[in-house]
Amino acid sequence: MSNSKKIEVEFAPGCFDEFEGTQEELDALVQEIRRMAESGELQDNARPLDIDELQEYLDEYDAYVFPPESQPDHGGRRQRH
């Protein structure tokens, strides 16, 4: 385990609303994330955020959640503020 500060895990209300599994699977996922945070494994396996990688993910997310036909006023892209 790393000697750095322990990661505190909080889940935003509704963050699992789109989860497509059973309640037992969701409970196991949450428990595993908390276990990894507690043991330091989450931090030990973390890697720096690459801004280009993040932008690519956000573009893919936008295309999935906000398809072009649903956003005609903005050329198919959601406006980020």
Specify the pLDDT at position 81. 46
Tokens representing 27 are 């409970």
Say if residues 62 and 78 touch (Cβ distance below 8 Å). yes
Specify the pLDDT at position 75. 52
Which DSSP state fits 66? S
Average pLDDT of adjacent 10-residue blocks, the chain of 81 residues: 72 92 96 94 89 90 79 55 46
Specify the pLDDT at position 24. 97
Specify the pLDDT at position 8. 87
Specify the pLDDT at position 70. 66
Specify the pLDDT at position 67. 78
